């Protein structure tokens, strides 16, 4: 199977709750997401009229798209429920809350559901399917949230895998440091995907409802390779590790050349154009943030190790699908060694505003 199909069918975070699992290694994502909490609370208080939204059924519907296996999704959902509850304070009947947990069908929903907080104040529903298409009924949800998921493209752009194309991305794993054609192929893929994402959400979110998105971002016009961000050092190191393994005969040149990480960082302006084109939403909030603002001291070797453990839990399945299960630990051990050796460089490049946070209101 080519990588184009692999992404959609099996992109899951490491399942279960073992030492290498996403559920045990997603604290960095949680810390970054916690930077959004205050703004989400303010948006709920100021931008939506919760009482009118639930007037027919007295049930408030929330969806988390790309929820993975938990526990981050539970914290985010609980924060939203608290904010909605506060905004409804004087309402005599407390509403029921229904939460749709969405992810790709190959996600480990068993781990998600077995770890649902037993004392939760909401009903939980699993929604398997790609958020690049319709996953919920027409006008069925009041707040849709998605954190750390919409930078995953629906697939690796075809041109990047095509030897005869100018966008053939030989010897690289991403569009950072790649040719202009590769960058354009990723950019266009994101444009197509985000268009489909917004079209689907416009159908699913009720008028007056909110769509809140946290994803990888970048300032407008800044070439990815100019961004002094640790993630670039990581992609470049990944390519170095694969080329080293190729030279040792552990993987083939073909395998290296056809491996690409389908992650795209969007600028606020790029998203604003797509929102305008869609026409169904108003932009209520749009900002680039530093996802590491919570880290109050310089990053050390142990932080770098922890960071790679989180990356392994997040991207491991891409490597397993492409290179096989047996090479996963070797690849990540080499990557850890390489990046630990670059700790100072990683630290000095760690404070960029590379998390894009935006909130849209359905007209």
Ligand X SMILES: C[S@@+](CC[C@H](N)C(=O)[O-])C[C@H]1O[C@@H](n2cnc3c(N)ncnc32)[C@H](O)[C@@H]1O
Contacts with ligand X by CB under 6 A lie at: 11-13, 26, 29, 33, 65-68, 72-73, 102-104, 107, 130-132, 147-149, 152, 154, 314
DSSP code per residue over 94-159: PPEEEEEEEE-TTS-HHHHHHTS-TT-SSEEEEEES-TTS--S-TT-EEEEEEES-TTB-SS--GG
Complex with ligand X: residue 154 or 237, whichever CB lies closer = 154
CB atoms within 10 A of CB 249: 7
Complex with ligand X: residue 95 or 214, whichever CB lies closer = 214
What are the residues whose beta carbons fall under 8 Å from the beta carbon of 306, sequence distance 6 or more?
28
Examine residue 71 and say whether the peptide bond preceding it is cis (omega within 30 degrees of 0).
yes
Task: In whole angstroms, give the CA distance from residue 22 to residue 113.
Answer: 14
Q: What is the CA radius of gyration of the chain?
A: 20
Q: What one-character DSSP code corresponds to residue 292?
A: T
Minimal distance, residue 298 CB to ligand X, in Å = 25
Complex with ligand X: residue 200 or 206, whichever CB lies closer = 200
Minimal distance, residue 133 CB to ligand X, in Å = 9
Minimal distance, residue 146 CB to ligand X, in Å = 7
Find the residue with minimal CB distance to ligand X: 66
Long-range contacts of 341-345 (CB under 8 A, 24+ apart): 342/233, 342/237, 342/304, 343/299, 343/300, 343/301, 343/304, 345/233
Complex with ligand X: residue 12 or 209, whichever CB lies closer = 12
Minimal distance, residue 108 CB to ligand X, in Å = 9
Complex with ligand X: residue 75 or 283, whichever CB lies closer = 75
Minimal distance, residue 7 CB to ligand X, in Å = 8
Minimal distance, residue 69 CB to ligand X, in Å = 7
What are the residues whose beta carbons fall under 8 Å from the beta carbon of 19, sequence distance 6 or more?
none
Complex with ligand X: residue 313 or 335, whichever CB lies closer = 313
């Amino acid at each position: 199977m080519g990588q184009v199909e692999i992404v959609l069918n099996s992109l899951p975070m490491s399942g279960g709750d073992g030492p290498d699992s996403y559920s045990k290694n997603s604290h960095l994502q949680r810390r970054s997401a916690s930077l959004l909490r205050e703004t989400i609370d303010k948006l709920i208080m100021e931008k939506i009229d919760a009482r009118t939204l639930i007037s027919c059924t007295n049930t408030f519907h929330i969806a988390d798209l790309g929820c993975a296996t938990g526990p981050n999704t539970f914290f985010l959902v609980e924060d939203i429920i608290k904010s909605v509850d506060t905004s409804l304070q004087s309402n005599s009947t407390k509403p029921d809350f229904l939460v749709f947990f969405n992810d790709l069908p190959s996600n480990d929903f068993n781990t998600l559901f077995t770890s649902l907080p037993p004392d939760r104040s909401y009903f939980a529903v699993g929604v398997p399917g790609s958020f690049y298409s319709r996953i919920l009924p027409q006008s069925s949800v009041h707040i849709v949230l998605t954190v750390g998921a919409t930078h995953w493209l629906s697939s690796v752009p075809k041109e990047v895998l095509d030897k005869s194309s100018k966008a053939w991305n030989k010897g690289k794993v991403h569009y950072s440091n790649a040719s202009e054609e590769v960058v354009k192929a990723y950019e266009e893929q994101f444009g197509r995907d985000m268009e489909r994402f917004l079209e689907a959400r416009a159908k699913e979110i009720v008028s007056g409802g909110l769509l809140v998105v946290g994803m990888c971002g970048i300032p407008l016009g800044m070439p990815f390779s100019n961004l002094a961000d640790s993630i670039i050092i990581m992609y470049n190191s990944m390519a170095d590790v694969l080329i080293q393994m190729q030279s040792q005969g552990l993987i083939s040149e073909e395998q290296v050349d056809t491996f690409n990480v389908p992650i795209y960082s969007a600028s606020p302006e790029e998203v604003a154009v797509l929102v305008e084109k869609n026409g169904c939403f108003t932009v209520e909030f749009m900002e680039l943030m530093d996802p590491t603002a919570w880290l109050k001291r310089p990053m050390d070797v142990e932080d770098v190790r922890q960071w790679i453990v989180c990356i392994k839990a997040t991207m491991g399945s891409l490597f397993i699908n492409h290179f096989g299960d047996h090479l996963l630990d070797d690849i990540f051990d080499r990557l850890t060694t390489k990046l630990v050796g670059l700790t100072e460089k990683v630290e000095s490049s760690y404070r960029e505003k590379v998390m894009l946070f935006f909130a849209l209101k359905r007209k």
